[in-house]
Chains A and B, each alone.
Chain A
Amino acid sequence: MTPTEAIPLLIVVLLVVSAGGGDVDEMTVTFEGANTVETLDDVHVVAGGTSTVPANGSVSGDLYVIGGTARIAGELDGDVTVFAGNASILGDGVVTGTLQTISGDSSVADGATVGAVSSFDPPTPTASPARRIGAFLLQFLLLAVVGGWLARRRPALFDNLGHAITEHALVSGVVGALGSLALLVLFVYMAFTLLLIPLSVAGLVGELLIVLYGQIAFGHLVGTRLPIDRPDAATVAGIGVFLLGIELLGLVPYLGAIVQFGLFVVGFGAVLNTYFGLQRFEPVSIPDGAVR
């Protein structure tokens, strides 16, 4: 696991340890190779390679697995939490606390002793059609309420956004791709400073809102092409059609994802370029270069 790949999960571990009153300064991390854990400084993170509590060993502290493999053949007085990778409690191994598997794999051999075992099954949208439809309807409802209201009260916003999307799709796409990616990386790295976590979370939420606003703008554009006279109703219908189209695109392998990404960055860029629709985007005027 590379530093960059490890950072998001390390952040999660840092947050969990901090929230639990643990001492972050005492945290150790292994990234590769075969390591024998004979002493533990409060918290140990396995990010790669294999870390083993030997059969005759007894250590006290919590173990987090975010990559690689943790093997417990001896006694661990604490909890084991698996975010990714593998954790194996071998025969005669003892974990006095909880073996919690958020993601990744864990196994408890016959003869091993574990205080408690719990696993977290994240909701998978594809697992249940009803849940998926529910999420879709919730998203539609939220966007429709905001979109309908804006179409009725502030139609000029949509004029500017629509103009940026239709007339300057390339510029919007470039700014959207650059802006969204750069901001995403920035906010993730802000979180790693711990001090800036609130700003990081606010920034990520802000990015999500920009994406949703872009979707509303697309919905409005679709709505103007529907045979509906009332602008708010047309926008609501357009948002529905657009979201449905996005869902259908998801069924097309590769190309569907590319088109989805393209729509996402164009919408994002259009929102940024127009200052959330407050100002019409016009590119600079370049003279032809004739010497007069």
Chain B
Amino acid sequence: MGSEIPMRLTTYLRERQWTTVFGYLLFVALMVAGYYYNLTFVQLGLIDLGTRLVGMSETAVSAWMAALALCTLLVAVVTGVTMDRRGWSTDVRTKLRLLFGVVCVQFALTLVAPHVRTVPAFGAWIVAASVGLGVGFPVSFSLAIDLVPVPDRGYVAAAITAIAYFAANAVPLSWSIDVFSRLMTAAMAPGLVVLAVLASGRVTRVEAVLSELGGQHREFGRGRFCYPDPVRARSLAFAVPVVLMFGVFFVDSLGFLRIIDTPSLLLSSWQSPDLATRWVIAVAHVLGAVMAGVIYVNYPMNRVFLWTFALFALTHVLYTSDLRVAAVFPTLTAGSSSPLNPAFYAVAVSFYTTLNFALWPDISTPETIGTHSAIGIGVAGWLATFTSTALALYFQATELPLLSHLNVVQALSLLLLFGLAVGLYVRRMVEIAGADGGATA
């Protein structure tokens, strides 16, 4: 008889395996910090930096952001492949040293960002940032094989998502590069010291801990979807999740960029002066992450994707329905918006973010984690986010109405949902046909 799948963490706590428990904490802390940085400083701060401080047009900023995406992707792929070929993927010390270098670069970039005033300086900043990001994310994701046991990856991914989004939403911050820079500098400084100690190789007790953590990839390394055979980068088993994740990142970013550029929607949700509204969104993020973690652990991959797409489709139906109501009854446009829509949005975003944190290590082995996470997150995450950002800003430049813009997003999300459902059905059909050798009476 089956029973609720328990977290391995409880066993480690009961058996007082503190080194392994420390590995969990280290991974969560690193990923939360990295994701929070990406979520705030890079995704929101860069737009403010380019348009307000440098004085560029939104279209120009969008072009630079697309360049950042491509550059990040290239650096990431080179880093990931190098990590696998040189065996860095299975060497926790090398990964921590690389990460220390990345955080040093990002710390310097964070300090100088508010002082950037010219287009060449902005371009140089973009290139340096893309190098940091491109090296940083395959390295940080590859730490999962050393620090997080396979059965717990869904829950750990949920914890990272919940903490990062809760912090980003519950703490009221102005979305400006100056504010982000001050906050990040203060937050990164202690992290930098901790990473320096971990990467130094000079503290005996730390070295003992790292030696133990460094051997864990033999026990935790083979991802959940690598049975019976490991997933190869040139296989459908890898390409399909990449395409699906690309779709969901693209849809999210394309819609969100327009929503946050619409004062009536933004001020009644993510930038609401009413703290209660922001807490509703923050709590929705946490609930969404927990739900995604539970579903990831208990269901096959396609079910998690189906839920994610269904939630996105529903969210955009809510948004576009409200806008259509407003179009029929114009007086409505002056009214405030309900927190229901951003709350649903938050749940959907938490769903796919949780999936993103758990998926790439789970379709990798210690020999492929560098390449897989680089291609996976590079294409699905960065490329999708920044190309959709570029498209969103282009839509704005062409003065596409809000409803038309979100209508495109809704169409894409419905298309993804429908496409996945049809794809799963056809796959099952092919399996049946293959097993039976054709129709049976």
Q: A-side interface residues toward B, CB under 8 Å?
A: 1-7, 10, 28-33, 48, 163, 167-171, 174-175, 177-178, 182, 185-186, 189, 192, 282-284, 286-292
Contact = CB atoms under 8 A, between A and B. Distances in A.
Contacts of B340: 4, 185
Contact of A171 (B1, B150, B298, B310): B298
Contacts of B150: 286-289
Contact of B311 (A32, A182, A283): A182
A286 B335 CA distance: 49
B208 to A, nearest CB: 23
B291 A178 contact: yes
A283 B329 contact: no
A282 B2 contact: yes
Contacts of A31: 329, 331-332, 334-335
A192 B321 contact: yes
B344 interface: yes
B136 interface: no
Among A48, A283, A292: residue with most chain B CB under 10 A: A283
A20 B336 CA distance: 31
Contact of B298 (A30, A168, A288, A291): A168
A286 B317 contact: no
B368 to A, nearest CB: 12
B60 interface: no
B335 A174 contact: no
A25 B46 CA distance: 45
A122 B269 CA distance: 35
Nearest to A177: B291
A281 B192 CA distance: 46
B290 to A, nearest CB: 8
Interface in B280-332: 290-291, 294-295, 297-300, 307, 310-311, 314, 317-318, 321-322, 325-326, 329, 331-332
B241 to A, nearest CB: 16
A32 B331 contact: yes
Contact of B219 (A3, A33, A282, A288): A288
Which 5 A-B pairs have CB atoms at the shortest separation, nearest pair first? A289-B150, A4-B338, A283-B298, A2-B338, A3-B322
Contact of B332 (A29, A175, A182, A292): A29
B321 A189 contact: yes
B218 A290 contact: yes
B291 A167 contact: no
Contacts of B341: 4
A287 B326 CA distance: 51
B314 A284 contact: no
A185 to B, nearest CB: 6
Given A4-B337, A286-B224, 16 more contacts: A2-B268, A4-B338, A4-B340, A5-B338, A10-B325, A167-B2, A167-B3, A169-B4, A171-B295, A178-B311, A185-B314, A192-B321, A283-B2, A290-B220, A290-B221, A290-B222
A29 B329 contact: yes
Contacts of A174: 290-291, 294-295
27 contacts: A2-B336, A2-B337, A3-B325, A3-B332, A4-B318, A6-B332, A31-B331, A32-B331, A32-B334, A163-B1, A168-B298, A174-B294, A177-B291, A178-B307, A185-B344, A186-B317, A192-B325, A283-B298, A286-B150, A287-B150, A289-B221, A289-B223, A291-B219, A291-B222, A291-B365, A291-B366, A292-B222
A168 B4 contact: yes
Nearest to A4: B338
Contacts of A3: 322, 325-326, 332, 335, 337-338
A229 to B, nearest CB: 24
Contacts of A289: 149-151, 219-224
B93 interface: no
A247 to B, nearest CB: 28
A175 B335 contact: no
A287 B227 contact: yes
Contact of B331 (A29, A163, A283, A284): A29
B271 to A, nearest CB: 17
A31 B325 CA distance: 12
Contacts of A292: 222
B4 A170 contact: yes
Contacts of A182: 310-311, 314
B217 interface: yes
B435 interface: no
A117 to B, nearest CB: 29
B441 interface: no
B236 interface: no
B5 interface: yes
Nearest to B335: A31
B360 to A, nearest CB: 14
A2 B335 contact: yes
A186 B224 contact: no
A283 B5 contact: yes
Nearest to B3: A167
A289 B5 CA distance: 15
Nearest to B223: A289
A291 B217 contact: yes
A30 B332 CA distance: 7
Nearest to A281: B2
A170 B217 CA distance: 30
Given A182-B310, A289-B150, A290-B219, A175 B322 contact: no
Contact of B5 (A28, A178, A185, A286): A286
A289 B218 CA distance: 8
A34 B311 CA distance: 38
A223 to B, nearest CB: 20
A82 to B, nearest CB: 19
Nearest to A286: B151
A189 B290 CA distance: 26
A171 B294 contact: yes
